[in-house]
Amino acid sequence: MRRARLEDVASEAGVSAATVSLVLRGKDGPSASTRERVIEAAERLRYRPDRAASALASRRSRMIGVMMNIVNQYQAQFVLDIADAVEDKGYKLVLSSTTRGIDERHAIEVLLDSRCEALLLLGPTSPVQQLDLLGRQLPVVVVGRPISSRTVDIVRSADEDGIAQAVDHLVALGHERISYVNGPPGTVSRLRSGSFQNTMRQRSLLEHAQLIKGGDNELSGMRAAAAVLRSPSPPTALIAFNDRCAIGLMDTMVRSGVTIPDGMSVIGYDGSPICELPQINLTTVAQDTRSLAENAVNALVQRLDGTSARHEIVVPPRLVVRGTTAARNTLPTAQP
């Protein structure tokens, strides 16, 4: 059966197509009885507005594209909050993910080919020049990565503050030998590692601070843990670049006979849902994904409405204390 059209509803209700349009859009004009007839006719015919045709007529798609990394659990949770914020603004969401075979350029091209009016890019690694060029074509918000751009809006967490909260929590528990497991090369890694060193310096603990090569997944955390266990003077606490890295750290520590948190305190970063599982119960610096999502979508909509200039929004994170941190106790030792 073909899809019911506006003209079919008009014929069924005995009114003009213009009257049906007014009723369905909630505009003034038609009487109460006419409204009732039109609504009943639309329900009988199971009429649904053809949004694609409306978009073509208005030359607007009302679609916002989001580029994400499908294997990143934090970004997956973030997209749920973005979807709510986009829906509240009357827009639709289009997702495009980077994968092993799809880089950022191709993922963005998918969104552009889908007629997205604006883009939200979650943690992009593309050069600033490319992002600037993209921002000249349509409204773009970069989430999570501070960059110097004249065309792109920035919405990010206060990474410096988040790391400082983690250090202060461990210092309050009596830890002095604290190490930071760094992430992959990039702006965010530099911000977080720099904040770690600055905070340790301010607490007069810089001599005990150590940066350890890491990454952004479980395997990199496992490798970093192996390096810690080989150290002649290991730390008593570790802060990881993100939650996935922290989970890899804990896995190797536990397999090597180190108890968490008595033998080693561990803190992650992001606030991924997996941290809440009883078997993991990870202390983490949680990013406020709802606030980040709402600010990012608001920035895009304001750009689309022509009511906003470029700006950068910084949202404070918060430390969520769970079961992987405790007062300094024993030092970890590798099993023979």
3-class SS of residue 52: helix
* DSSP-assigned letter for residue 15: S
Instruction: Tell me whether residue 312 is exposed, middle or buried, using C-beta atoms within 10 angstroms of its C-beta: 0 to 12, 13 to 18, 19 or more.
Output: middle
CATH 3.30.1050.10 fits 159-287, yes or no: no
| CATH superfamily of the 60-157+288-315 domain | Response regulator (3.40.50.2300)
Q: Say if CB 282 and CB 244 are below 8 A apart.
A: no
Q: What's the pLDDT at 331?
A: 45
Q: Say if CB 178 and CB 189 are below 8 A apart.
A: no
Q: What's the pLDDT at 1?
A: 52
> DSSP labels for 209-256?
-EEE---SSHHHHHHHHHHHHH-SS--SEEEESSHHHHHHHHHHHHHT
Q: Which residue's structure tokens are 């606490």?
A: 237
β-sheet bridge partners, residue 93 = 64
Q: Say if CB 175 and CB 236 are below 8 A apart.
A: yes
User: Quick count: other Cβ atoms within 10 Å of Cβ 72?
Assistant: 21
Residue 237 backbone class (left: φ over 0; alpha: ψ -120 to 50; beta: rest)? beta
> DSSP labels for 107-137?
HHHHHHHTT-SEEEEES--S-HHHHHHHHHH
Helix and strand numbers (H, E) in the chain are 12, 12
Q: Quick one: tokens of 186?
A: 């990039």
Q: What's the pLDDT at 58?
A: 46
Q: What's the pLDDT at 22?
A: 85
Handedness of CA 300, 305, 309, 315 (dihedral sign): negative
User: Which ranges in the chain are annotated with CATH 1.10.260.40?
Assistant: 6-49
Model-level pTM? 0.77
Q: Which residues contact 315 (CB under 8 A, 6 or more apart)?
A: 155, 156, 157, 158, 287, 288, 291, 292, 295
Q: What's the pLDDT at 23?
A: 85
Report the run of H or E that residue 154 belongs to, with start and end: strand 153-157
| CATH superfamily of the 6-49 domain | lambda repressor-like DNA-binding domains (1.10.260.40)
CA angle 80, 166, 77 (to 5 degrees): 10
Q: How many residues does the chain have?
A: 336
> What is the mean pLDDT, run by run of 10 residues, along the chain of 336 residues?
80 90 81 90 80 52 88 83 90 90 90 91 90 89 89 94 98 97 93 97 96 95 96 95 97 96 96 93 96 93 79 94 88 42
Q: Which residues contact 273 (CB under 8 A, 6 or more apart)?
A: 73, 77
Rg for the chain, CA atoms, rounded: 26
Q: Say if CB 214 and CB 220 are below 8 A apart.
A: yes
| Crossing angle (nearest 10°) for helices 128-137 and 104-113 | 0
User: Quick count: other Cβ atoms within 10 Å of Cβ 40?
Assistant: 13
User: Which ranges in the chain are annotated with CATH 3.40.50.2300?
Assistant: 60-157+288-315, 159-287
